[in-house]
Amino acid sequence: MNPKIAMFLLIISLSILVPGCVDEREVETNNTTKPPISVATMDDLIPTDNLPIGITYLGTHEITIDSPEANATEAVYKNSEGIDFYVRVIKRESNKAAEELIDEYKSQYKNYPYDPFEEVALNNHTATQVRDKSLQGGTRVSTYTYVWNNENYVFITTSNLADNNSPTFKLAKAIGY
């Protein structure tokens, strides 16, 4: 075979094969999607990066809740103004048990003189925004909590940030589940 023809065929073959290899490698290194919740670990469910601007992740610890057969973890965050934020992830034995835990959580607000609940769309789920009114520094303010479930996991995102639900909502969105 003529060396020029052989070289031509080699170049053509490589030009066809190399882009496939490069594309495949890019998919592997640029894969930033989260695992499905059915195989996710508690660590996967706690956002530690891609957080809202000004919010810093400080760490996690296990927490105890008054609910049978539940594992719970709480992540702690702080913003640049020193305001605390929390993400609680609670694993229950079933989807129904997760929904029951949310109903139990919401029942603590049953004697409020106003309706603190508003349904919102969050991470492709319906979540409940809870607006709690309290006194901070002698002034009545609202603080916000977001609670929802995805399969058998319950997520609760809260802060003591006064009268601004946006950062708490953005942190809840950062969970991605």
pLDDT of residue 34: 81
pTM of the model: 0.79
Same domain? 131 vs 55: yes
Considering the chain, what is the average pLDDT of its residues? Answer: 85
Q: What is the mean pLDDT of residues 116-140?
A: 94
Under the banding of pLDDT at 50, 70 and 90, the label for residue 38 is confident
- 62 and 146 in a single domain? The answer is yes
Residues 144, 79 share a domain:
yes
> What does the pLDDT read at residue 32?
56
Let me know how long the chain is. 177
27/106 same-domain check: no
* pLDDT above 80: residue 157: yes
- Count Cβ neighbours within 10 Å for each residue of 4-39 and write b for 16 or more, e otherwise: eeeeeeeeeeeeeeeeeeeeeeeeeeeeeeeeeeee
Predicted local confidence at residue 151, as pLDDT:
95
Tens-place pLDDT, residues 11-37: 555 455 444 443 333 333 333 578 899
**What's the structural domain count of the chain?**
2
Residue 163 in domain: yes
In this structure, the answer to whether residues 6 and 83 fall within a common structural domain is no
In a domain, 2, yes or no: yes
Q: Are residues 96 and 149 in the same domain?
A: yes
Q: Under a CB-based contact definition with an 8 Å cutoff, are residues 159 and 172 in contact?
A: no
Residues 133 and 56 reside in one and the same domain:
yes
**Residue 88 forms part of a structural domain:** yes
CATH number of the domain that residue 148 is part of: 3.40.1000
56 and 141 inside one domain:
yes
Mean pLDDT of 49-77: 91
Give yes or no: residues 144 and 64 share one domain. Answer: yes
Percent of the chain scoring above 90 in pLDDT: 70
Among the listed ranges 36-40, 57-61, 114-118, which one has the minimum average pLDDT value? 36-40
Q: State pLDDT tens for residues 82-93.
A: 999 999 999 999
Domain holding 14, by residue range, is 1-31
Are residues 164 and 88 both part of a single domain? Answer: yes
Contact of 143 with 130, CB cutoff 8 Å:
no
| Of 57, 107, 85, the residue nearest 158 (C-alpha) | 85
Tell whether 13 is covered by a domain: yes
Whether residue 36 lies inside any domain: the answer is no
153 within a domain of the structure (yes/no): yes
Q: Say if residue 60 is in the same domain as residue 143.
A: yes
In the numeric block, which tokens belong to residue 90?
């609670």
Asked, for residue 37, whether it belongs to a domain, the answer is no
The answer to whether residues 61 and 26 belong to one domain is no
Residues 6+ apart with CB under 8 A from 128: 102, 106, 117, 118, 119, 120, 146, 147, 148
Higher pLDDT, 65 or 121: 121
